[in-house]
Amino acid sequence: MNYTNKHFYLFPFFLLLNISCSTSKMSVMALNYTPSISESFLKNKVIRSEKKANTNPTNPVLLFNASKNLTIYSFGFTVDSADRIKQDDYKKSLKKYAQANSDFSRAVKYIDQSILTDYPNYDTWLNGGPNETPLFDISNIDKLYWSAAAYAGAIQSSNGDPEWVIQLPKIGLLLETALSLNPEWNYGALYTAMISYSLIRHDAKENKVEIAKSFFDKAIKASSGEDLSPYIAYAENIAVSEQNKKEFTNMLYKALNIDIHANPELSLTNYINQKRANWLLDNIDEFFY
């Protein structure tokens, strides 16, 4: 399995949900007209948070913030840019992916150190060592999720580097541990992540498509159908893997029919995913043979 091809979509842009949990309709509208300002704002936020983390390398909160901000920025801007220019300028896209991989690598380092500060056996557990699972609770879901996101980004942007591809099982361990604590967390964000992970995991089941579809159904229910992310994850993963062009377009049109302001806490992620859905439809022939 090629984990780094253009259809790999383990963590969709719903990652950006956590930039703000109270994004107003006006700020989302402003983003449409000032995307460069938004990117610059987040980039400065990354620089500040990394500086704080490097100055205080034993502070788990600052380390977590640095990892999360790096991951959001890299997925939302660097990887997105690489995906969009890949068809027209492949060499330039490779440079973008390399830049993202460098950022994701640091994000992994920060989040690993943040969790390790609270749970000394975390590193051994994550690497499959013979020790008990750390005593995580629901307050740790945020870190488990963002750790999985950082690893996913590093894998996706590595262009098949074995050093990163072999880390894939860690994503499943982190997501499944978080699911065991609160599967409905963050409007079904964990379910959405599992849609694609179910298809590309190293120990995927023969009925992996049915499993992925079940996570889709759970994600829709958890978000009351107000989140575009599950529909896009379904289109880019399930529909593409089955080469079902009709289902691909149906899912994307269903996403586009959702009122992105119905749930204020999902407005920003829905705005970004709306952009993604339109881009996918404009480039549909790139996904089907």
Question: Could you tell me if 251 and 235 are in contact, meaning their C-beta atoms sit under 8 angstroms apart?
Answer: yes
Q: pLDDT tens-digit profile of 238-289? A: 999 999 999 999 999 999 999 988 888 888 788 888 988 999 999 999 899 8
Integer Cα distance of 133 and 177 in angstroms: 9
| pLDDT-above-90 percentage for the chain | 67
Integer Cα distance of 18 and 265 in angstroms: 9
Residue 33 has pLDDT above 60, yes or no: no
Cβ within 8 Å of residue 69, ≥6 positions away: 42, 45, 46, 49, 50
pLDDT at 271: 83
The average pLDDT across 68-72 equals: 92
Query: Within the chain, which residue ranges are assigned CATH 1.25.40.920?
Result: 1-33+184-289, 35-182
CATH fold, domain 35-182, is 1.25.40
- Predicted confidence band of residue 2 (pLDDT cuts 50, 70, 90): very low
Give me the amino acid identity at 258.
I
pLDDT at 37: 54
pLDDT at 3: 39
Q: pLDDT tens-digit profile of 168-197? A: 999 999 999 999 999 999 999 999 999 999
- Predicted confidence band of residue 36 (pLDDT cuts 50, 70, 90): low
Mean pLDDT of the chain: 87
Question: Could you tell me if 122 and 40 are in contact, meaning their C-beta atoms sit under 8 angstroms apart?
Answer: no
Residue 94 has pLDDT above 90, yes or no: yes
Residue 229 has pLDDT above 50, yes or no: yes
pLDDT at 8: 45
pLDDT at 38: 67
> pTM score, two decimals?
0.88
Burial (CB count <10 Å: 0-12, 13-18, 19+), residue 257: exposed
Q: Which residue has the tokens 């829709």?
A: 220
CATH fold, domain 1-33+184-289, is 1.25.40
Least confident of 7-21, 69-83, 224-238: 7-21
